């Protein structure tokens, strides 16, 4: 059996299939997503692909990537901006559903107004954690406030929920004050998990870490790591050498496992996101805004978004909610890590 990927016929195999996560793509083509959890240190430089998000925002998608699909439980990474939106609507993402994951909104510039089907209404500002746990089902919207700041710059990240917790009750938490670790030339804000004994108040369901590292030009240091975690570093701004590899904004360096320290050298004032965690070994199916364990579960979630009240209603957004894309013509298969 064959399918068509990127305009070329490819043999079909029972692999982990995902589609482009663009919320506006209503006729997506399936994409095979490869990659393995590394058992030791590696240095794999990943570049983002541009994806439209909402009406006026284009993001650089780093995960899932053809060469790397997860980093610990982190399964989705978008980097956007800095964008001058002074005369634009900015971020406008209509109500849409989520299942089986957590979303992390992280800003360096601008503001994002979050609404969800729980009745949450919260403006998330730079260096504040907006953490939504979809659990069994939730829907939400994201938009730039009116009026809004001139520049928008940030990252949107997802964390896959393990099977034991993926049916938990949905929740939204806003944490404006997060712990900070400092060293000469470094200010590290702990987004999720623990870094150097500082622990975020954000709820986690697997061992992981997310931290925003602000570096001053010339900073040369070693960041302590957990050897059992796999890691990646996303460049937000400036120029940094990560274990001797130069990374520029919008790129991400996958580092593998087995590291107890990470060398960092800031060529300019810079900021990077450190993402890590224990390798996520469960088999999952990831399609559109859903993470499940079988194709049948994904089909049911899509149908429920279109026909039932399972995901609730988002009130107050000025516009219609998103319609679900058409399902791919090939089976949705689950695939786990290969260690």
Enumerate residues 6+ apart whose C-beta is below 8 A from 175: 128, 129, 131, 200, 201, 202
Enumerate residues 6+ apart whose C-beta is below 8 A from 199: 179, 190, 193
Residue 96 assigned as binding residue? yes
Enumerate residues 6+ apart whose C-beta is below 8 A from 144: 85, 89, 90, 91, 92, 110, 111, 112, 113, 152
DSSP 272-320: EEEEEES---S-BEEETTEEESSHHHHHHHHHHHHHSSTT----S-SSP
CA distances from 17 to 20, 86, 287 (A): 10, 38, 8
Would you report the helix, strand and coil content of the chain in percent, each value rounded to 5? 5, 50, 45
**b/e map of 154-188 (b: 16 or more CB within 10 Å)?**
bbbbbbbbeeeebeeebbbebbeebbebeeebbeb
Among 215, 181, 224, which Cα is nearest to 200's?
A: 181
Residue 148 assigned as binding residue? no
Residue 108 assigned as binding residue? no
Residue 315 assigned as binding residue? no
Whether the Cβ atoms of residue 56 and residue 90 lie closer than 8 Å to each other: yes
**Pairing between β-strand 112-116 and β-strand 138-143 as defined by DSSP bridges:** antiparallel
CA distances from 320 to 4, 81, 141, 315, 317 (A): 32, 26, 11, 11, 8
What residues are designated binding site? 96, 98, 140, 142
What residues are designated binding site for Fe cation? 96, 98, 140, 142
């Amino acid at each position: 059996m064959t399918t068509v990927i990127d305009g070329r016929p490819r043999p079909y195999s029972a692999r982990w299939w995902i589609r482009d996560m663009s919320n506006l793509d209503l006729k997506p083509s399936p994409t095979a997503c490869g990659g393995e959890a590394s058992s030791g240190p590696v240095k794999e430089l990943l570049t983002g692909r541009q994806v439209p998000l909402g009406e006026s925002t284009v993001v650089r998608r780093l995960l899932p990537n053809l060469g790397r699909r997860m980093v610990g439980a982190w399964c989705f990474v978008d980097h956007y901006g800095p964008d001058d939106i002074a005369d634009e609507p900015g971020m406008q993402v209509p109500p849409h559903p989520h299942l089986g994951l957590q979303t992390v909104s992280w800003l360096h510039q601008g503001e994002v107004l979050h609404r969800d089907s729980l009745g949450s209404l919260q403006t998330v500002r730079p260096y504040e954690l907006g953490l939504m746990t979809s659990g069994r089902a939730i829907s939400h919207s994201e938009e730039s406030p009116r009026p809004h700041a001139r520049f928008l710059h940030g990252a949107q990240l997802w964390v896959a929920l393990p099977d034991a917790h993926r049916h938990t009750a949905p929740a939204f938490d806003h944490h404006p004050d997060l712990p900070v670790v400092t060293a000469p030339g470094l200010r590290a804000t702990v987004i999720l998990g623990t870094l150097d004994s500082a622990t975020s108040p954000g709820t986690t369901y697997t061992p992981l870490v997310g931290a925003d590292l602000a570096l001053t030009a010339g900073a040369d240091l070693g960041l302590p790591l957990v050897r059992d975690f796999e890691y990646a570093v996303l460049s937000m701004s400036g120029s940094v050498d990560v274990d001797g590899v130069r990374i520029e904004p919008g790129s991400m360096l996958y580092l593998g496992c087995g590291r107890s320290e990470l060398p960092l050298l800031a060529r300019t004032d810079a900021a990077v996101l450190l993402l890590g965690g224990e390798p996520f070994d469960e088999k999952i199916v990831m399609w559109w805004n859903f993470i499940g364990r079988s194709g049948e579960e994904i089909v049911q979630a899509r149908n429920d978004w279109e026909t039932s009240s399972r995901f609730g209603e988002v009130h107050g957004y000025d516009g219609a909610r998103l319609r679900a894309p058409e399902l791919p013509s090939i089976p949705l298969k689950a695939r786990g890590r290969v260690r």
